[in-house]
Amino acid sequence: MEWLRDPHTEFAEWEPIADRDEVGVCVSHLQAKSGLAQSTVSSYMTTLERAGLVRSTRIGKWIHYRRNEDAMSRLAGMLHTPA
């Protein structure tokens, strides 16, 4: 999630397939940076998407992910609320 906060810096060594501000980072770039198998990265990202923390966009055969900043802000607020 931290990498997706600043995708231009975190993924500067990879040529973007699409506009990172609009659609996020290609799953293949997440895989390359993490060193994990593509299927593992896809599984993790699907879980984050189901939780509403990221949004996905398909560009051709590739899925791109970006943070859902509204959901992240709400989550941060919930975590900072005293019980």
Q: Residues 22-69: pLDDT tens digits?
A: 999 999 999 999 999 999 999 999 999 999 999 999 999 999 999 999
The whole-number average pLDDT for the span 64-78 is 91
Q: How many domains does the chain have?
A: 1
Per DSSP, the residues of 39-56 read HHHHHHHHHHHHTTSEEE
Whether the per-residue pLDDT at 80 is higher than 90: the answer is no
Range(s) of the domain holding residue 74: 2-80
pLDDT confidence bin for 83, thresholds 50/70/90: low
CATH code at 34? 1.10.10.10
